Structure 1
Amino acid sequence: MTVGGQIPDTETGVGLAKTPAARQAAAGSTAGPAPGPSGGSPSGPGWFGRLGLWSAAHLRLVVVLWVAVVAGLGAFAPQVTSALAGAGWHAEGSESVQVRDLAREHFGGNASTALQVVVHADRPVSDPAVQDVIGRATALLTADARITGVVPPQPGATVSPDGRTAILLAGAGAGADDMVRAADDLKGPLGALSGGGIEVTATGSSVMWSDFNTANHDAMIKSEMLSWPVTMAILVLAFGSLVAAGLPLLLTLAGLAASAGALVLLDQVTPVSIWAMNFAMMFALALGIDYALFLVVRFRAALARHGDAVRAVRETMDTAGKAVALSGATVLVSLSAVMLVPAPAFRTMALGIMLAVVFVLAATLTLLPAILAKLGSKVDAGALPWSKSRGKEAGSTVDAGASGSPRFAAWADRLWRHPVRYGLPALLVLLALAAPLAGLRTAMPSITVVPEDASARVGYTTVQEAFGPGTPGMLQIVVPTEQAAQTAADAASDPALGDTLDRLRAGLPEDALVGGAAAENLDLQTALDAKTPLVIGVVLGLGFLLLVFALRAPLAALLGTVTSLLSTAAAFGVAKLVFQDGHGASLLGFTPQGFLDGWAPVFFFAMIFAIAMDYTVFLLASAKEHYERTGDPRRAVTGALADSGRVVFAAAAVMVAVFFTFALSGPLPPKEMGIVLGTAVLLDAALIRLVLLPVLLRLTGNAAWWCPAWLRRILPDVRFAHD
């Protein structure tokens, strides 16, 4: 409320003169001209406000279009688990992939993707009963069109020294993804041949990925089922009404159905990893909740002030809608950097998440405002008894146009008065958690990532015990015929060559190519290590530029980017303590490998940074809105926390609940994902967005929002304030 050009400072009781000219001067001449229609001003709504008004005026059309999109693409969704690919965990263009292709083309499919069927008996494999089982296994394999042929057990090669274990080699007659599907289809019938002292198991790289995908998919479904009740409880508590709590689920289901169908169609063009759907489901839920929270909270406050649902939608979209769009763009930019990794599985997983984000974002900016305009005050239908008092709190705003919580406003005031008291401990905790990162080791996972009773692991163990250590991970060497004898001699005569793949490749003739499943893992790890700095640099750089573009405040953008990096480092530090050093391993029920899985630094970094920047955008966009209105850095911080603090807190609670349920899953990769992502969200929300970033904005004051004249001239005038 203003009286005679004075804005009362509720914390100090001192009236601050804030005329428009004074506000512009206080902003260090960064405010620029009065906002026009594109920014959302008194003269008319901005672009997002107009989108909200159009959606509200065309509710039927918007609903029909979304029903058509969801029904059209959703019709393909049931095929997602069977249509999507199971492989793709290799480095494109690597030497090992060349060996795999050559072996498939010239050596009867005896490539790394070939199936190995292990027959272990309590009697010699020459026994008629064992031979009968081998014959039936051979018939099963040859009946499958994806198998080029079956090499029977060969004494001295694929028959163990004690004569009780034999290996059938089923040649790969199809690509890596189809061979994983072949493993899906054949490992059960082959296992059913066991009995009478004879055990039949399928193993090999394709079977391992089949078991890996099955175990992790089952674990993720179980975790998601466990997280739903917790998610629903948090949503009801956060929104205070059953109708409002159902809105995020509407966005999630629309985005998930559309993205699932889109992935199936995309798979017709290029193989898409089954993991793309798993991650898309998580992000659709997480971001659907985030975005709906931000818009619904703002809509409620605007509705309480104006009493007009359409006007409330216009204001909501010009402020919170703009921030949501910026958040979605930041998430997409972060994930797009993963496309730099030359591994099909990683690229399609990132693409799956990006599709989910696009559909959820589109639903948030079109379907949600249309429904809110229609609902009006009915958005609070099914309200809980205590929610009415909180609704009154929401009307007690910190600043004109705010949807603030007095509790978070009081917390912001405390941070402003004592920045070092609260900011320094938060910084020290984050740095202490990030310190173990210096000793982090990464490697591709071993066979232990699949359950002990999985076919691939049982067969692997049987081969290892019968033929000796290292046999299951044998390398393949492809060489011109005239160099074969010399290559064999070199590989056999110098044991040091077998210590590492690099030494072996360096010591063999120039034309020799070394491959095999183990070599493919090592080549993928090498590619990941090489691309990690580039991916991290691109994510940080693009995230910073996007914030500068939207905020026109380089220092505030830098603070948001650096603090997001700090929470990511702390999360990986915790991951090192848990998964590499084994702290808490018995509690979580796993055996530490002594390293973090090789894909974590690249893929998890992009995911964590995307989520962290999501919260950053909400906080900084709200702070910029208040700074544009008042020119006061203190009101910017207190108003931002009052507006977005509860939203960040509630959204983070949902994400932490969802991610930490994955820590309860059986296989190791979901545990890693759950702990790393859950810890990152917890630290980011509790210590950075609600403590450290506001403190840094307090310490930098007006400088946080300063923009040099030359940069103002080239940047668009994006404004978040709505008068």
Structure 2
Amino acid sequence: MRTTTGRPWWVLAIALVAIVGSVVVGSNVTDRLLAGQGTEDPNSESALAGAVLEEHFPEGRPNLVLLVAAEAGVDDREVAGQALAMAEGLAYEDDVVGVTSYWQTGADELKSDGGDQALIVARVGGGEAHAGAVVADLADRYGGEHGPLDVRVGGQTAVLNDVETTIDEDLVTAQAVALPLTLLILVWVYGSVISALLPLAVGVASIIGTNAVLWFIAGLTEVSVFAQSLTIALGLGLAVDYALLMVRRFRAELEDGHDPPAAAATTVRTAGRTVLFSAFAISSALAVMLLFPLYFLRSFAYAGVTVVLLAALFSLLVVPAALTLLGHRVNALDPRRLFRRRSNGRAPVSPEEAADRRWKRLTRTVMGRAPAFAVASLVLLVLVGLPFLRVEFGMADDRQLPADAESRQVADVVREEFSANATGVIDVLVHSPHAQTDTAELTRYVERLSLLDHVDEIRSPVGVYAEGSLTQARTPVDALRESASHSYLQVVPEDGVADISPESQGLVRDIRAVDTGLETSVAGQAAAVVDAQEGIGERLPLAIGAVVVSMAILLALLTGSVVLALLSVVINALSLTAMFGAVVWVFQDGNLSGLLGFTPTGFIDTALPVLMFCIAYGLSMDYGVFLLARMREEYERTGDHRTAVELGLRRTGGVITAAAVTLAVVMLAIGASRVTNTMMLGWGVALAVIVDATVVRCLLVPSVLRMTGPLTWWGPEPLRKLYRALSSPAAPVFRAPSQPGDPNLGPAPLPDPEPVTGVRTPDPTSEPTPGTGAVHARD
């Protein structure tokens, strides 16, 4: 702190060097990030079996699809000749294996119902990034018109390429929208262009620094490109939160007559403590995603924890240094003067005065009817969360892309005009070597599988079976379904069963439940969804427990109260109900899909609720820390519970509202993405932030605390000692007189002051006037 305020130029210079270095390192971070879903458990049965299938039967797991259309029909001689030559040419491309086409096999499932389109499918080997580069090159050379052929490129890898490109473009747009809007909001909130630029600078610096850190992490492990959305949202949102708190406290210290270095030092000791607790709280919520094996979730932990800590670091070091140099110029360039009105023609009413009057009316209304507001708030939150009870889980596919993406168009055509799941089946791997496998046992197993519900047919080394009977004898194609160490079966669901629908997931469970003496594994998209759900379900109790315990400990240390910590943990969870209910109502059920421009699939990506819980819960704790820290400060100052709750809300209500509006704007800019998962994340978290800052912080919290009374502040003596050790010595502390029983239940009521003739008795909950000798309420 002494270095920050004593040598501010050195601090700013070092920060500038670090930012420039981060720009150089992190400028190409996107090249290292992965566009894959990242929602598969790498140690699950489906993932391990999939790796074996890719090695031994690559043609069974295509990730490249060429949709070939011809006006003359796919059986036309000239069309067939050119298409066959294209398939053969594709087979000779580097890293391309397992090429299969309609013209090579004559398979009906590779031909459209109308007969004017057919498929060439292949497997591109290598890692995700390498395969993406290969497919991008192939799309340039094989896509488009080739004589009578019109070729469009699709498949899983092409979808991932389109997802990455779309997200990159959308993030540029989001930043172009969010930055100027954030600046306008901050100028109005701060009443100073100079002050407004500080949080914006902190946010940009945090984003740049996080990109550099992600560049290093992505060189060591898998990191999803989706994590960049969180980097931008939290980088700007938390920079506004923290800098807003710091600047408001600094201004209050200047008004109290302190010089800039002393004001900055006090700001770090008081508001800085709140920032530190907030950063720890949000980081703890985000860090629990490291408990899950899915790299999609782990990526958000890497990005989220980094950007939160950097935002706090810049706020605690760079902001005080800048404030020390700016001094009273921090209030310069106030455009709100043009909008101020005069009160009774005598003096202008500042926005701060007008806001304080509104918060005063609101707090007194809520606390005056506490039971009614508490019950109404609880009922509202529960009702809007009810749709989540019918949530269905799946895995995001090509339909998260906009309708004009080529890979999405190819997948739509395959779904609508091709039968028998041309590119999507459930894979079953028999691990015993064929020489050691009893053919009769394998046949009996295939027969049992063909009798399961929602099964159209089974393709196997012993032929094609349907409803327990052989429908097609073993062919040369079937012979390719076996190797020296494995046999490969394809379970084709009946028409109408989507690849990752609840029916297909149920079919995976039924397949695994079939009794057989063979060693088998099930793979495919539906199996990956089932395994991801089980992996998340196994670790979810531990993750929730870690979040709850860490938050309760932090809040107990912040407030010195066990009761308040436990109440806050429960209340913060209630603030998420609106988000989860809206996600199901909008994105699963499809309401507002036309307005928002997405395609509903009837399910929610399995990993998204976990991600949204960690982010939204951490942000709700951020606002909770702001509010509770101020309430505790007022309780220490006045010793009166009701006054502490009222003043705490009045003094932080504006900060929380401004921070929530700014963060909601940023999240809505992210939510304007054309990728459904990113849209869901942005809109969902924005809704959670708004509900938390309004219904929860303004209505539920003060009404509940009004009813709990002085018991709110109870804590055991060891906790109170630890709280006092961690508290700032800047604020005067009210010492309650000893009382029978528990002395921590609060002080005796303060006596009414003796009236003095000719002197107006001040409102005990109003803001003291600086310079009068009264304790000035601080942020």
User: Are the equivalent residues in 2 in contact too, given 1:100–1:515 (CA < 8 A)?
Assistant: yes
1:7-29 CA distance string (max 9 Å, x none): xxxxxxxxxxxxxxxxxxxxxxx
Which runs of 5 or more structure 2 residues have no equivalent in the other structure? 342-346, 456-503, 732-779
- Tell me whether 1:204 sits opposite 2:155 in the alignment: yes
| Corresponding position of 1:73 | 22
Query: 56, 69, 83: which is aligned to 1:120?
Result: 69
Q: Structure 1 residues 301 and 236 mapped into 2: Cα distance closer, same or farther (>3 Å)?
A: same
> How far did 1:439 drift?
2.6
Following superposition, the deviation at residue 110 of structure 1 comes to 4.1
Q: Note if 1:191 corresponds to 2:143.
A: yes
SS at match of 1:266: helix
Measured against aligned partners, the alpha-carbon deviations of 1:46-104 in whole angstroms (never above 9, x if no partner) come to: xxxxx2x3201121221222122212222122212222112223112011111222123
**In 1, Cα distance between the equivalents of 2:217 and 2:84?**
40
Q: 1:683 to 1:222 in 2, by over 3 A?
A: same
Q: Which residue of 2 aligns with 1:24?
A: none
1:593 partner SS: coil
Q: Residues 555-587 of structure 1, C-alpha deviation per residue, up to 9 Å, x if partnerless?
A: 111122111100102221222222233333333
| Structure 2 counterpart of 1:504, one-letter code | I
Measured against aligned partners, the alpha-carbon deviations of 1:249-287 in whole angstroms (never above 9, x if no partner) come to: 110111111110111111111121111222111110111
CA–CA separation in structure 2 for the residues paired with 1:649 and 1:564: 16
Which residue of 445, 460, 468 corresponds with 1:490? 445
Matched-pair contact (CA < 8 Å) for 1:624–1:720? no
SS at match of 1:202: strand
Given candidates 645, 650, 662, the residue that maps to 1:654 is 662
Q: How does 1:285-434 map to 2 (within 5 A)?
A: 285-386=236-337, 405-434=356-385
SS in 2 for 1:478: strand
Structure-2 separation of matches of 1:244 and 1:424: 40
Instruction: Report how many residues are paired.
Output: 664
> CA shift at 1:675, angstroms?
2.5
* Residues 1:255 and 2:206 are matched in the alignment: yes
Counterpart for residue 233 of structure 1? 184
In the alignment, the residues of structure 1 paired with residue 627 and residue 62 of structure 2 have an alpha-carbon distance, to the nearest angstrom, of 49
Q: 1:549 to 1:420 in 2, by over 3 A?
A: same
Is the 2:229–2:670 Cα contact (8 Å) retained in structure 1? Answer: no
Q: Counterpart of 1:147?
A: 96
Q: Partner residue of 1:622?
A: 630
| Residue in structure 1 matched with residue 750 of structure 2 by the alignment | none
* Residues 1:63 and 2:70 are matched in the alignment: no
Question: What is the Cα-based RMSD across aligned positions, in Å?
Answer: 3.0
Amino acid at match of 2:424: G
Task: State how far apart, in whole Å, the 2-side matches of 1:476 and 1:605 are.
Answer: 33
- 1:125 Cα deviation (Å)? 5.5
Matched, 1:501 2:451: no
Change in 2 beyond 3 A, CA 1:265/1:627:
same
- 8 Å contact from structure 1 (residues 235, 245) kept in 2: yes
Aligned to 1:476: 427
Query: SS in structure 2 opposite 1:477?
Result: strand
Q: Return closer, same or farther for 1:345/1:183 CA change in 2, 3 Å cut-off.
A: farther
Aligned to 1:583: 591
Identity score, percent: 28
Candidates 610, 613, 620, aligned match of 1:605: 613
CA spacing shift, 1:190–1:587, aligned 2, 3 Å: same
Q: 1:385 to 1:605 in 2, by over 3 A?
A: closer
Whether the aligned pair in 2 keeps the contact of 1:180 and 1:210 (CA below 8 Å) is yes
User: How is 1:422-461 mapped onto 2 (pairs within 5 angstroms)?
Assistant: 422-461=373-412
Q: Does 1:719 align with 2:727?
A: yes
Counterpart of 1:696?
Answer: 704
1:173 aligns with 2:125: yes
Task: State the TM-score, normalizing by the size of structure 2.
Answer: 0.79
2-side partners of 1:370 and 1:311: how far apart? 12
1:286–1:278 Cα change, 3 Å: same
Moved more, 535-544 or 248-257: 535-544
What SS is found at the alignment partner of 2:11?
A: helix
Matched, 1:277 2:212: no
CA distance in 1, matches of 2:100, 2:351: 77
TM-score normalised by length of structure 1? 0.85
| Matching residue's letter, 2:253 | A
Amino acid at match of 1:611: L
Counterpart of 2:165 in structure 1 is 214
Shift of 1:161: 8.0
What is the DSSP-based 3-state SS (H/G/I as helix, E as strand, rest coil) of the residue aligned with 1:717?
Answer: helix
Give 3-state SS (helix, strand or coil) of 2:256's partner.
Answer: helix
In 1, distance between residues paired with 2:122 and 2:637?
71
CA separation of 1:69 and 1:137: change in aligned 2, threshold 3 A: farther
Q: Distance in 2 between matches of 1:489 and 1:215?
A: 48
Change (3 A) 1:149 1:445: closer
Report SS of the residue matched to 1:684. Answer: helix
* SS of 1:54 mapped into structure 2: helix
Measure, in 2, the Cα distance between the counterparts of 1:572 and 1:582.
Answer: 14
CA contact (8 A) 2:429 2:522 kept: yes
CA–CA distance in 2 between the matches of 1:588 and 1:447?
Answer: 17
Query: How much does 1:148 deviate?
Result: 4.9
Structure 1 residue 143 displacement after superposition: 4.2
- Cα deviation, 1:347-396, whole Å, max 9, x if unaligned, reads 01221121111211111110111001110111112212439979998999
Q: Which moved more, 1:455-464 or 1:329-338?
A: 455-464
Partner of 1:401: none
